[in-house]
Amino acid sequence: MIRRSEIRAAAAICAALVGAGFASGREIETFFSRLGRGSWLGVAAACSGLGFLSYAVMSLARRVRGANFPDLYGGLINGRCRTAMHLVHGLLTLITAAAMIAAGGELGALALDLSGARLIGAAAVLLAGVGLAAAGIPALGWLGLAAAVMIAGVYAALALTQNGRAAFSREGLAAAAPMGLLYAAFNGALAGGVMTAAAREDARPARTGALVALIMLSMLLPANAALLRCDARLRWAALPAVVMTARWGTTGYYTAIALILLAVLTTLGAMLSSLRDQAAALRLKRAPALAICAALAALASVCGFETLVNKVYPVLGWICAFALLSLLLRWPDDSAK
């Protein structure tokens, strides 16, 4: 039997994986849909990879009794690696949290016809994210599950109401599996903190990993289908979901904004929770640590969403993805099942 705690843990991990880029369709186009019909192989590879990484990180976290993701490197490699990962992974989660706050500001500007709408949106998202992080894995899990249901439902409706047809190419098919695995590596590294926290729950790693794969598949299948069936010119829009739902009028416009907002909140809550756990290494209490992390993320968000996502995130993402691979290569023979 699958435990409720395993569903919560898997949904919390997915909450960290699904942010503004995913919900808006931009990330799905970049990694999958642009490859044409061969992208389905990439979807399968990505979901399988994320399920395996969830299982692996949870298992290793239980073995070393890690309080945060960098602790795994201290337990399996050495203290210097742990210190380096505190820096690199901490920066990655901080930049991602900052990007979500900046995205909240952009959504505020899109949704509210008010002076200072961008500031209102950013502040509201920040406060909600802090509350979500303080509530921990249970709250992250249930909100993450709600986000998954909404994303799957909206994209399924979009897929069913469009009649486009994507092309097939051998080049797209050849690139699909590597792109799917790259997607899993980037996002798995980002969600390492939540995976480590999930290991402290009453959740078996293997079943939790399988649930992560299924939840991600339930979102990626309709999302990729919708993007493959839409006009190719729409896929390259800054926010494909907003453009595609425009056919539904005002309702569609605000549905897309709500969809992206929910994904922003879950990712921000997950990142702040991970940062707070890392700050425990500095012997800070949970509440002050969360407040400091939120303040730093808010300060970094001034750089803007595009700068953070397009210039800073890729560098840190590559480093953390390779670091995650190095961790898996240190897998002990008698690791927890």
Q: Given this model, what pLDDT does residue 336 score? A: 45
- Written as six digits, the tokens of 208 are 């939790």
Q: Given this model, what pLDDT does residue 334 score? A: 59
Give the tens place of pLDDT for each residue, 230-283.
Answer: 877 776 777 888 888 888 999 999 999 999 999 999 999 999 999 999 988 778
**Is residue 166 within 8 Å of 36, Cβ to Cβ?**
yes
Q: Given this model, what pLDDT does residue 337 score? A: 44
Where are the chain's structural domains?
A: 4-329
- Written as six digits, the tokens of 124 are 């509201």
Predicted TM-score of the model (pTM)? 0.91
Q: Given this model, what pLDDT does residue 213 score? A: 97
**Is residue 21 within 8 Å of 163, Cβ to Cβ?**
no
Q: Given this model, what pLDDT does residue 333 score? A: 65
pLDDT along the chain (337 residues), means of 10: 90 92 88 90 96 95 90 90 93 95 93 91 96 92 93 93 78 92 94 93 93 97 92 74 88 93 95 92 85 95 90 90 89 59
The three state secondary structure string of 84-151 is HHHHHHHHHHHHHHHHHHHHHHHHHHHHCCCCCHHHHHHHHHHHHHHHHHHHCHHHHHHHHHHHHHHH
Amino acid identity, residue 105?
G
Give the tens place of pLDDT for each residue, 12-29.
Answer: 999 999 988 888 888 999
- Written as six digits, the tokens of 320 are 């953390």
Q: Angle formed by the axes of helices 4-17 and 137-160, to 10°? A: 70
Q: Given this model, what pLDDT does residue 284 score? A: 81
Q: Which CATH code for domain 4-329?
A: 1.10.4160.10
Give the tens place of pLDDT for each residue, 291-305.
Answer: 999 999 999 999 998
**Is residue 230 within 8 Å of 244, Cβ to Cβ?**
yes
* Residues found in the chain: 337
Q: CB 165: neighbour CB atoms within 10 A?
A: 10
